[in-house]
Amino acid sequence: MSEANLKERIVEATLTELKIVEVAQISLRKISKQLDVTAQAPYHYFPNKDALLLEIKIRALQGLNSRWKNINEQEDDLLKRLENLSLSYANYFYNNVGYYKVMKHKMKLGDEFKAEIKRSRDTFISAAEDIVAFYNIKDLTGENLTLLCWSSIHGLIDLQLQNMIVIDSLKTKEIAVGHLSDTLVKTISVLVKSMTSRETNV
């Protein structure tokens, strides 16, 4: 077995486990047993559990940033762009529960992760700033609008995952994701329109 292949298997096994357990229950020793390798094997790639989790955090952000890059390049409508970025965020982490759990796990972060999270923030804030400028919303900054959107996203994902951590039925999963998407679009649209209306009436 190649080193790259075993490293990928360790990451994938961890993400599979995270569909049914929390981050605190993950251990390199348990993963090695699942993969039927020696207890020392995972340590050739990850010196400790945090190193494994950091690798997963970076991969999660790289996947999200790739999706956001495509949305930015393909969508010209400002409000639709913000909605699509938000929907992509929600659906991506809802469909990748392991990524979401690891992203919420607090730990020491390296420069590579910080660079990826900066890319994410800059992309979303830029889209939010375009909305604020276009609608001339004086009491709201792009960063504040970003925080409001992200707060809504996290709340919706948490609510869905509390009800269905493990989803065996693809149809049930599609319904849940559809509900999440519809709710999020309405949340953002109402937020922006209410701010716009308030500015118009002043």
Cα–Cα–Cα angle for 116, 117, 122, rounded to 5 degrees: 100
pTM of the model: 0.81
Is residue 92 domain-shared with residue 171, that is, in the same domain?
A: yes
Query: Alpha-carbon distance 15 to 95, whole Å?
Result: 12
Is residue 17 domain-shared with residue 107, that is, in the same domain?
A: no
The answer as to whether 52 is a domain residue is: no
Which CATH number goes with the domain that contains 158? 1.10.357.10
pLDDT at residue 184 in the model: 64
What are the pLDDT digits (tens) for 72-125?
999 998 888 988 888 888 888 888 989 999 999 999 998 999 999 999 999 999
What are the pLDDT digits (tens) for 16-38?
999 889 999 999 999 999 999 99
Average pLDDT over residues 55-81: 93
Of 6-10, 140-144, 157-161, least confident by mean pLDDT is 157-161
pLDDT at residue 168 in the model: 47
Is residue 81 domain-shared with residue 171, that is, in the same domain?
A: yes
The answer as to whether 90 is a domain residue is: yes
CB atoms within 10 A of CB 82: 24
Query: Alpha-carbon distance 11 to 56, whole Å?
Result: 7
Lookup: tokens for 173: 């999963």
User: What percent of the chain stands above pLDDT 90?
Assistant: 49
Which amino acid belongs to residue 71? Answer: I
The answer as to whether 180 is a domain residue is: yes
Is residue 41 domain-shared with residue 75, that is, in the same domain?
A: no
Residue 182 has pLDDT above 80, yes or no: no
Is residue 35 domain-shared with residue 74, that is, in the same domain?
A: no
Domain that holds residue 179: 57-201
Is residue 90 domain-shared with residue 188, that is, in the same domain?
A: yes
Alpha helical stretches, state H, 75-169: 78-95, 97-104, 111-134, 142-163
The answer as to whether 193 is a domain residue is: yes
The answer as to whether 103 is a domain residue is: yes
Provide the domain count of the chain.
2
